[in-house]
Amino acid sequence: VTMADAKEYITKREIPQLFECLMTALMYHRPTDHLSFIQECVERVKLHGVSSVRWDLFLEEGGGGANKAGRQLPPVTPPGSSRASSRAGSRADFVDKAKQPLPPIGAPVEAASAVEKAPPPPPSTGDSEAPVAPQIEEQPQAAEQSKPPAAPIACPLVLLIGGPGSGRRRVCRELARRYDFQAVCFGDLARGATAKDSLTNSAALALLTDALGRLPADCQGVFVEGFPWNEAQLGELLLQVQSIKCALLLDFHEAALRKRLEDRAVPADEAAARLEKFRSATLPVCRHLDDEGKLLLLPVDGEPGDGAADADVSVVAGDAVALLERVLGAPSKPAAETSAPAAPHPTGPQLYIRTLDFDVESATESVERDTDLPACPILLLLGGPGSGRSALCRRLAAAFDGFVRVDARNALGGDSDADSDNRPDGRVEAEALRRLLSSPALAGARCVLLEGYPTCEADLRDACARLGRPDLAVLIDCSETGLLARLASLPEEDVAARLRYFKEETLPVVRSLDAAGRLSVIDGDRSEEAVLADLKALIDFVIFNRR
């Protein structure tokens, strides 16, 4: 076994974190029977999963959690004569058990008022039916070791939950537009750091709280999509934000989600794994939120096999608003101002984004950038016709010292001073791009903003062969309705041709960059100032490693 294999093994299984957790618990509690104590701790980890492991997992007040034999782990304070339900009966009880992973779904539930208002139980007389672990003296330093929760956010926070392939990100952005809220899509945050599945719970929470901390001071509310995806994260989130207004679950039949993933060319084994993870890890989160009276359930599709097609985003958002009005009131903007009018479910063929027979990661694994090209990071800025990417690119170049904008369409000829948003994309020959990037104007640049490239498969292959692995690609993601509104002054046939090129040639490139973990997506259906602010924050985080 090589050192690399051993390191990969212990890293994937989070073994160092487990040992750190056990050592901390032993030093803190100093149990008489340390072997039994370790066994109980390991049983608790097995019950809740390795993802629940943190260094301070077993330091909570009140002990918390039960092993499969029915015994509590040693409590910090003396146990009572009767044990409370292992399920959190109210949000207050849930938050008070600092950083304690949520208990199993099958445990009994007691009334919220009983948990919130019950006085401290008297010392045990030995008559309790359930055996308890030996009493451990209370340690005053526990309060000093626990991390205080962050200050709660002032505006309403709404969670949007949906299975893989449910389209929750687009629904999240549409709802944010209608309510004039901010939208925080966790998948976009994770792409700027690492793969979502490889993030620890604490790292994932840090990404989210950092994004919430950057919300404008006058923020009216925020929709959060893609987080939490397990129970431990829900507990951590409640400790940080103190209050969740509500959660909206997009309720699809599993067969419909599987069909959506199949249409997106997701391999069958990967689709099955993602659905199983949602079923086993995320649905228990919904169960807890439902117990708290925070969950709103929105059925999205009909019974499997009844011919119901995928719902349009505007239709789903409209149905969601009908539920959310009970909690948030009416949206600040009517649907007509933020999206296309609600339409019946489409019956014709759906937009299909083909999968390129090209893997960005493997194609760039051993590629080094040509010496006559800039050595600084190159940011690829993509967007459909009318997305406003040219104006954004100019403003980014002006906002950051040493950032230089390069419009790849200048290699196609024509008037380079013309309004770039009105110039079509097209195939850029490799040598023409080389001439653009080897310009003396780029000498000493800190970052090159390469706009409108790559827009087709041939461009992507050239880019990987000459530039190597992309530093970062950003898609300004706009709805087709929004693009058409911005291009209304152009001839219809020109607009149709440019949209067709974007769908058939550029979106497969976007998909390949996304599969390689090199893509960040920014909602372009907002004001230019809002989009620019997100772009600046992304560059600060990815290029400069600032938060």
**CA dihedral sign of residues 318, 319, 324, 325:** positive
Residue 253: enclosing H or E segment and its boundaries?
Answer: none
Residue 351 confidence (pLDDT): 46
Residue 185's beta-bridge partner residues? 225
pTM for the predicted model, two decimal places: 0.41
The DSSP secondary-structure symbol of 345 reads: P
pLDDT band at 151 (very low <50, low <70, confident <90, very high): low
d(CA 102, CA 107): 11
Residue 380's beta-bridge partner residues? 450, 473
d(CA 181, CA 179): 5
Asked whether the beta carbons of 249 and 183 are under 8 A apart, the reply is no
Residues 6+ apart with CB under 8 A from 43: 67, 68, 69
* DSSP β-ladder status, 378-383 and 157-162: unpaired
d(CA 454, CA 460): 5
Q: Measuring CA to CA, how many Å separate 530 from each of 142, 211, 277, 394, 469?
A: 43, 14, 34, 15, 29
Calculate ∠ Cα 167-389-310, nearest 5°: 15
How many Cβ atoms are within 10 Å of 261's Cβ, its own excluded?
20
Kindly tell me the number of DSSP H helices and DSSP E strands found in the chain.
23, 10
pLDDT surpasses 50 at 85: no
3-state secondary structure of 138: coil
Q: List the single range of 81-85, 144-148, 439-443 with lowest mean pLDDT.
A: 81-85
pLDDT band at 412 (very low <50, low <70, confident <90, very high): low
Residue 363 confidence (pLDDT): 84
Residue 511: enclosing H or E segment and its boundaries?
Answer: helix 507-515
Asked whether the beta carbons of 242 and 95 are under 8 A apart, the reply is yes
Residue 403's beta-bridge partner residues? 447
Share of the chain above pLDDT 70, in %: 72
**C-alpha gyration radius of the chain:** 26
**How do residues 515-530 score in pLDDT, each as one tens digit?**
888 888 898 888 999 9
Residue 346: left (phi > 0), alpha (psi -120 to 50), or beta?
Answer: beta
Among candidates 313, 310, 308, 301, which has minimal Cα distance to 340? 313
Within 13 Å, how many C-alpha atoms sit on residue 105's CB side?
A: 14
pLDDT band at 532 (very low <50, low <70, confident <90, very high): very high
d(CA 173, CA 526): 10
Among candidates 385, 392, 450, which has minimal Cα distance to 421? 385
pLDDT band at 193 (very low <50, low <70, confident <90, very high): low
Length in residues, the chain: 547
Averaged over 18-28, what is the pLDDT? Answer: 85
Q: How high does pLDDT run on average in the chain?
A: 74
Six-digit token string for 66:
């039960």
How many Cβ atoms are within 10 Å of 161's Cβ, its own excluded?
25
Asked whether the beta carbons of 229 and 301 are under 8 A apart, the reply is no
Strand 447-451: give its sheet, edge to edge.
403-407, 447-451, 378-383, 472-477, 519-523
CB burial of residue 396 (10 Å; 0-12, 13-18, 19+) = buried
How many Cβ atoms are within 10 Å of 490's Cβ, its own excluded?
16
Residue 242 confidence (pLDDT): 66
Domains and CATH numbers, the chain: 3-105+136-145 (no CATH), 157-338 (3.40.50.300), 360-542 (3.40.50.300)
pLDDT surpasses 60 at 19: yes
Best mean pLDDT range from 89-98, 163-172, 193-202, 358-367? 163-172
pLDDT surpasses 80 at 452: yes
d(CA 242, CA 107): 25
The DSSP secondary-structure symbol of 140 reads: T
d(CA 541, CA 547): 6
pLDDT surpasses 50 at 420: yes
Taking the mean position of all CA atoms in its chain, how far away is CA 406? 31
pLDDT band at 89 (very low <50, low <70, confident <90, very high): very low
Among candidates 210, 204, 97, 219, which has minimal Cα distance to 158? 219
**How do residues 254-310 score in pLDDT, each as one tens digit?**
888 888 888 888 888 989 999 999 988 999 999 888 888 889 988 886 433 333 334
Residue 160: enclosing H or E segment and its boundaries?
Answer: strand 157-162
CB burial of residue 308 (10 Å; 0-12, 13-18, 19+) = middle
The residue to which tokens 């008022």 are assigned: 113
**How do residues 274-285 score in pLDDT, each as one tens digit?**
999 998 899 999
